[in-house]
Amino acid sequence: MGVLGALPEGLVCRPIEEGDWPGVIDCLGRGFPERPRRHWEEALARMARRPAVDAFPRYGYALVSEGRVVGVMLTLYFHHPAVEAIRCNLSSWTVDEDFRAYAGKLVMSALRRREVTFLSITPAPVTLKVTEGLRFQRFANGQQAFVPVLSRVKAPARVVAVRPGIPELDLLPEGERAILLDHAEFGCDALICILGGTAYPFVFKSRRVLRGLVPCSQVIYCRSPEALGQCAGALGRHLLRRGRLFAIVDANAPVPGLVGRYFAEVGPKYYKGPNPPFPGDLAFTEFVIFNS
């Protein structure tokens, strides 16, 4: 993880400011050469448009050596309206090779806040030992790929796309209404499934998998894996009309009601803090804000 003592003269770890953006983007480009520069420009712009959360850093932390950004960790803080807690998605952790001994300063700067639940949802294989060494715990061990339209619909069901003012929103708690409306603005598929007289909220994000060849829908939010299994058939008919046959969801085991295959140890996700998430809750994370 690196040195946790005092930094050498000329090297500082501090919150990222807007004036740092060019250097931050350059550093991220060195660390993640597969991503075009435009990806990071748009990611920071989206972070800038999000409301600040208390006094937490808006963008994250940077290691700066004599005015040059040599390390970055982006932090996406958000109030989760369904659980009324503050979470932070730690993302895009990279440090130039000559300064990797001090990489731990970035993550430790964020982890000081014990009231926050931190998420690590795209850990690189080389950082898994570090993540677990920092006592992050898994909340998802793998992923299930499934074809929702093949699931049985066991009760009368209908699916509506969310937009402001639709009456179906009144069937949901305030926190879930906020999640759906916010994610609809992000360009996600925010849906309400009315099944047997009960309303269930869902958010899907369009992605391409298998080296970008196959379009699918990533589950960004559902109330529970059980609810997803119950509503999958009705949701599948809606998604199929949008050209998406396949879907994926984080899970710890095969989800009852989903027709597909569970892949253990694929895309594990971690948390550290007082408010553990559950598989199927990636609301307000980098999958949405970074348009990944």
Phi, psi of 110 (to 5 degrees): -80, -40
In whole angstroms, what separates CA 271 from the centre of its chain? 12
pLDDT tens for 90-130 read 999 999 999 998 988 999 988 988 899 999 998 877 777 78
Helix, strand, or coil here: 226?
helix
Go through the domains of the chain in sequence order and give each one's CATH number: 11-115 (3.40.630.30), 143-267 (3.40.630)
C-beta separation of 23 from 7 below 8 A: no
Calpha distance 100→64 (Å, rounded): 12
Per-residue confidence (pLDDT) for residue 4, from 0 to 100 = 54
In whole angstroms, what separates CA 59 from the centre of its chain? 15
DSSP 91-131: EEEEE-GGGGGGTHHHHHHHHT-TTSEEEE-S--GGGHHHH
Q: Tell me the pLDDT of the chain (292 aa) as tens digits.
A: 444 557 888 899 999 999 999 999 999 999 999 999 999 999 999 999 998 999 999 999 999 999 999 999 999 999 999 888 999 999 999 999 999 989 889 999 889 888 999 999 988 777 777 888 888 999 999 999 999 999 998 888 999 999 999 999 999 999 999 999 999 999 999 999 999 889 999 999 998 777 667 789 999 999 999 999 999 999 999 999 888 899 999 999 999 999 999 999 998 999 999 999 999 999 999 999 997 6
**What is the value of pTM for the model shown?**
0.91
Per-residue confidence (pLDDT) for residue 126, from 0 to 100 = 73
Structure tokens at 158: 């209908």
